[in-house]
Amino acid sequence: MNSVLQALLHAPPLRNYFLGDRHNRFLCPRRTPMRHRTTDAEAKAACLACDLDEIYSATFSGERTPYSPAKFLYSWWQHATNLASYEQQDAHEFFISILDHIHENIKDDQHKSNEQGDGDCCIAHRVFSGILRSDVTCTNCGFSSTTFEPCMDISLDLDSGHNNYLGVANPKLHARNGERNVAGMSSKVSTLMRCLERFTRAERLDAEQKYFCERCKERQESLKQMSIRRLPLVSCFHIKRFEHSTVKKMSRKVDHSLQFPFSLDMTPYLSSSILRSRYGNRIFPSEACDSEAVSESPSEFEIFAVITHSGKLDAGHYVTYLRLNNQWYRCDDAWVTRVDEHTVRSSQAYMLFYVQKTLYYKACERAAAV
């Protein structure tokens, strides 16, 4: 919980929202102060956005003493009863749960759309929500079926470091994103760019996943390719370090190292780029909207938080590295220490948080002015 809260507290657009008094806990109609909640019904009706507003106020008050979010934890337990215990839980699951409950609390107050896909329905979606595009192409006739789905983060498989699919990749993209010494990496080192290439490359669906082709009027083998139609203000990448095999009936943690850039260009993974590589410069009506969506959303990002996990599958510890004014800090519960870039790069990243470059440098300018 502490590791995720550190990342949320320092996400520039989310921080600006709460510190800008956009959600005032004293005026919220759902508000029941944490210290005044005496019944389970009052606790369940509590507004997590109000609780976050209280944490933001305490964190940025200038007080040097550590702040304990124990009351926030209890409040969250009332919303997520399945996770209400003293057992170890997953940071990524907590992150998604928090965003879901912020959405539930704020969307009704703002009278916005109740749809999860509406990127402007609440502050959680305005900051973290993007749109993925999925193209399924029939290998028999070439007919393509396209669907879109909202996403609050992107979960990425760790590649093994081998070059078994790099024939379709452009090595210039790795240099653009600041990747170094790629050719000399060991088989136990992955890179964020290769993980994103793996996420967006076409894959053949097996016989059990045949889809019904509208043109052939029967189930056919097909190719599926994912791409990003719209980028969020803050991109969160969840690295799949915990594997569960039903065949082998075993679970394990993947300890491969992950190289990641501090500056990230998402252009190669956008739908417009994927479609251009597939069709060339031909323009199709269905693709026009994707080009417009991309032109409105910057594709260059800067990293501002890294959540790491040390330990084993069933027990471990989370630590957050924060990048503030190009200086890195290690946040380990109540202990905050300054660290160098090498420490961050060599950490075992579990969740990576990137913010649009313009927003990152605006935050730096404001901090310098203060």
Q: pLDDT tens-digit profile of 20-71?
A: 988 888 888 776 555 554 555 554 456 888 889 999 999 999 988 888 888 8
For residue 163, name the pLDDT band (cuts at 50, 70, 90). Answer: very low
pLDDT the model gives residue 173: 54
* Across 67-93, average pLDDT: 81
The answer to the question of residue 74 being in a domain is yes
Q: Is residue 202 part of a domain?
A: yes
Residue 172 lies in a domain: no
Query: Would you state the pLDDT for residue 170?
Result: 53
Highest mean pLDDT: which of 84-98, 107-121, 278-292?
84-98
**Is residue 154 scored above 90 in pLDDT?**
yes
Q: Does residue 288 lie in a domain region?
A: no
- C-beta of residue 152 within 8 angstroms of C-beta of residue 220: no
| Mean pLDDT for the chain overall | 81
CA–CA gap between residue 329 and residue 310 (Å, rounded): 17
- Assigned domain for 199 exists: yes
DSSP string of 221-284, one letter each residue: -EEEEEEEEE--SEEEEEEE-EEEETTTTEEEE---EEE--SEEE-GGGBHHHHHHHHHTT---
Q: How confident is the model at residue 15 (pLDDT cuts 50, 70, 90)?
A: very high
Residue 198 has pLDDT above 50, yes or no: yes
Domains: count for the chain: 1
Q: What pLDDT is attached to residue 75?
A: 81
Phi, psi of 202 (to 5 degrees): -70, 140
- Evaluate whether residue 14 is within a structural domain: yes
Please report whether residue 100 resides in a domain. Answer: yes
Radius of gyration of the chain (CA): 22
Of all residues in the chain, the percent with pLDDT exceeding 70 is 76
Q: What are the residues whose beta carbons fall under 8 Å from the beta carbon of 97, sequence distance 6 or more?
A: 76, 79, 80, 83
Residue 103: pLDDT band with limits 50, 70, 90: confident
Domain with 149 in it: 1-25+46-83+90-104+118-158+190-282+295-369
Place of tokens 């209890």: 74
**Which CATH number does the domain housing residue 146 bear?**
3.90.70.10
Residue 216: pLDDT over 60: yes
Flag whether 180 is in a domain. Answer: no
